[in-house]
Amino acid sequence: MFYYIFEFLDKSFDLPGTGLFQYISFRAGMAVIISLIISLLFGKKIINYLKKKQIGENVRDLGLEGQKDKQGIPTMGGLIIIAAILVPTLLLSKLENIYIILMIITTAWLGLIGLTDDYIKVFRKDKRGLHGKFKIFGQVLLGVIVGATLFFNDSVVIREKADTEHQITSHQGVLDIDRQDKEFKSPFAKESVKSTKTTIPFVKDNELDYSVIITAIFGEKYRNLAYLVYIPIVILIIAAVSNGANLTDGLDGLATGTTAIIGVTLAVLAYVSGNILFADYLNIMYIPNTGELVIFMAAVIGACIGFLWYNSYPAQVFMGDTGSLSLGGIIAVFAIVIRKELLLPLLCGIFLIESLSVMMQVAWFKYTKRKYGEGKRIFRMAPMHHHYQIKGYHEAKIVQRFFIIGILLAVFTVITLKIR
């Protein structure tokens, strides 16, 4: 909304300062500020409302220290996060941008699934919440929508790498590409094309075309059927990351802080991928119009930091599935859009370890029970963070150490742009 208002004022009246809203960096900074204000000022009111309505967490007794203190703490706090993401996005971004549309749909879609799950747990007193098959169906349907849009929509294109013999170093060029009312043209860049290419980390000339998979199996004439491979991959990534974030949300501030760290990294990757100068310098794929996603991710970062004010130990509110499913889905779709989804196992290493710990625990328990008649466990409890709780580590120490690991993974993810 603000973008269009100030664009009109800038072009029609040339008022001083109105041109600032054409810059991605300025609008991203504003998005962080607005999302923080919403989280901090309105968050407390929402928490008090949830307390008044007795919308509290029914914590399952795992015999862990301090667990009884969590009983009755308000849940569905993910509503704060979703509001703090969507409001700045609607106010500051270009709403006709196909990538922004996809991110808004993802946030609302998975937020609604999570809200339904929390509603069943709280109001219907069913600890199981929404049946797993309905969650998976919702994630699959979202994956189909995202995958089909990215594959078929004519606005979703990439631009082949510029001629590396020429280096574009114009400082003014960097400033111009940050403006959304100008399109900086590199004399060395090729035309934008439809493509199913993505980035492979650690490899020089690091691109994988998903269509190669279909042509390897059925032949070159079936290349146009690459969506039969691409869409299932998108579905798998969305389901894996959103469920990974959901499993990580087990300690005060853990999922919130981890998501903020991942969000900063993805914002950096989106900016350099959407800036033809940086993409040329780093020798990576240039994806037109993805720079606008920096505004969306800035809102996500601000929302997570603001929510962490109330969610850090000892938590005053839990995000519930309303927040965790939507945050995980946002990370997955965002990475797919900027063609960095193969970096997710590294960047989202915390989510990955948490998910693997659960899968390993369940698989080993079932195997040993079937073979020996008594189920055995690899970890004292899964997900992994509970294993360390039982070992005697304080909850806050576990969270802080996971944050440190998350930061290291984020830094390593960024430098993979040059480790090739």
Which pLDDT score is estimated for 57?
A: 65
| Residues 347, 357: Cα–Cα separation, whole Å | 17
Question: Residue 190 — very low, low, confident or very high, per pLDDT cuts 50/70/90?
Answer: low
Looking at 143-147, 233-237, 258-262, 272-276, which range is the least confident one?
Answer: 272-276
Would the pLDDT of 161 be above 70?
A: no
Would the pLDDT of 168 be above 50?
A: no
- Residue 74 β-bridge partners: 56
Mention every residue, 6+ apart, whose C-beta is less than 8 A from residue 214. Answer: 222, 223, 225, 226, 228, 229
Looking at 86-90, 191-195, 304-308, which range is the least confident one?
Answer: 191-195
Would the pLDDT of 183 be above 50?
A: no
| Residues 82, 304: Cα–Cα separation, whole Å | 10
Q: What is the chain's length?
A: 420
Angle at 348 between CA 343 and CA 351, to 5 degrees: 145
Q: Half-sphere exposure of 296 toward its Cβ, with a 13 Å CA cutoff?
A: 28
Would the pLDDT of 188 be above 50?
A: no
Question: Residue 104 — very low, low, confident or very high, per pLDDT cuts 50/70/90?
Answer: very high
Which pLDDT score is estimated for 62?
A: 61
- Residue 192 β-bridge partners: 159
Question: Residue 155 — very low, low, confident or very high, per pLDDT cuts 50/70/90?
Answer: very high
State CA 219 to chain mean position distance: 35
Kindly state the average pLDDT of the residues 60-87. Answer: 80
CA distances from 231 to 37, 133, 145, 288, 382 (A): 37, 19, 9, 21, 31
Looking at 90-99, 125-134, 143-152, which range is the least confident one?
Answer: 125-134
Would the pLDDT of 416 be above 90?
A: no
Which pLDDT score is estimated for 221?
A: 83
| Residues 354, 258: Cα–Cα separation, whole Å | 12
Task: State the SS3 of 138-189.
Answer: HHHHHHHHHHHHHHHCCCCCEECCCCCCCCCCCHHHHHHHCECCCCCCCCCC
Kindly state the average pLDDT of the residues 344-362. Answer: 96
Kindly state the average pLDDT of the residues 158-177. Answer: 51
Which pLDDT score is estimated for 166?
A: 43
Would the pLDDT of 271 be above 50?
A: yes
**Largest interatomic CA distance in the chain:** 80
Would the pLDDT of 163 be above 50?
A: no
State CA 403 to chain mean position distance: 16
Would the pLDDT of 413 be above 90?
A: yes
Highest mean pLDDT among 60-74, 159-173, 282-296: 282-296
Count helices and strands in the chain by DSSP H and E runs: 17, 4
Would the pLDDT of 84 be above 60?
A: yes
Which pLDDT score is estimated for 175?
A: 46
| Residues 68, 123: Cα–Cα separation, whole Å | 20
Q: Residue 116 corresponds to which amino acid?
A: T
Looking at 86-100, 196-210, 304-318, which range is the least confident one?
Answer: 196-210
pLDDT in tens, 380-390: 999 999 999 99
Would the pLDDT of 260 be above 50?
A: yes
Mean of the per-residue pLDDT values for the chain?
87
The angle that helices 98-123 and 78-92 make with each other, rounded to 10 degrees, is 160
| 121 sits in which H/E element | helix 98-123
| Residues 154, 161: Cα–Cα separation, whole Å | 20
| Residues 40, 353: Cα–Cα separation, whole Å | 31
With contact defined as beta carbons under 8 Å apart, do 70 and 249 qualify? Answer: no
Which pLDDT score is estimated for 167?
A: 44
| Residues 380, 190: Cα–Cα separation, whole Å | 55
Highest mean pLDDT among 66-80, 147-161, 201-215, 310-324: 310-324
Residue 202 CB coordination number (10 Å) = 11
